[in-house]
Chain A
């Protein structure tokens, strides 16, 4: 009964490099959500994906950030040309159906990105 898995758990990048964060949803879940938690702040929604589709990316910065959830394999959050302000914990959640009401989002352990 594996939960949501994220890797790596910790990622260190220098300014200008790319960061790739992976999320494997719970078995049978086809809905994935990414949230970001800046230091000393609450989690903020970034993007919602279903298999091969981006449903809502309204919380994602318009530049340098992208997300995908291919038919096969994990969901990927990609940050190009990282800057120090990208340092944060990035959490992935998954749900069986579209969340809201009686469905529930289950979170992974997060990836802590540090930009030097």
Chain B
């Protein structure tokens, strides 16, 4: 699996957009980008995933660069409840790749 690099921490003001970057420069053509978050003491929560097109759901938007070497998770209107560790994970499609590898992620702190 491709390795990912994320900043260790970020701050965001409540109500503003939070833009969380992720570098995955060694990503290969059949690897997806997944985002999860873990709010303190809770189980990881799936947010969104994509292959090469930008994706949007009720939680967030995922912007993947054309060369697929980096992506940005966007929380359009951050709230205090969005304070969490956000994990960017690259995952191969195909039958044998199911081990999610959680790195250190980015601790997003949303401030009032």
Nearest B-chain residue to A92, judged by Cβ: B43
The majority secondary structure among interface residues of chain A is strand
For the complex, what is the distance from the CA of A47 to the CA of B102, rounded to whole Å?
A: 15
Question: When A and B form their complex, what is the total count of cross-chain residue pairs whose Cβ atoms lie within 8 Å?
Answer: 68
Mask for B74-96, Cβ within 8 A of A = 1, else 0? 00000000000000000111111
List residues of A (5-29) whose CB comes within 8 Å of B's CBs.
Answer: 6
Interface size grouping (class) on chain B: 20 to 34
Nearest B-chain residue to A45, judged by Cβ: B99
The majority secondary structure among interface residues of chain B is loop
With beta carbons under 8 angstroms apart, the residue of A35, A48, A100, A109 that contacts B94 is A100
Beyond A31-B98, A33-B100, A100-B97, 8 extra complex contacts between A and B, CB < 8 Å: A91-B44, A93-B44, A99-B97, A100-B95, A101-B94, A104-B49, A110-B43, A112-B41
- B interface vs A, CB < 8 Å? 30, 32, 34, 36, 41-46, 49, 91-105
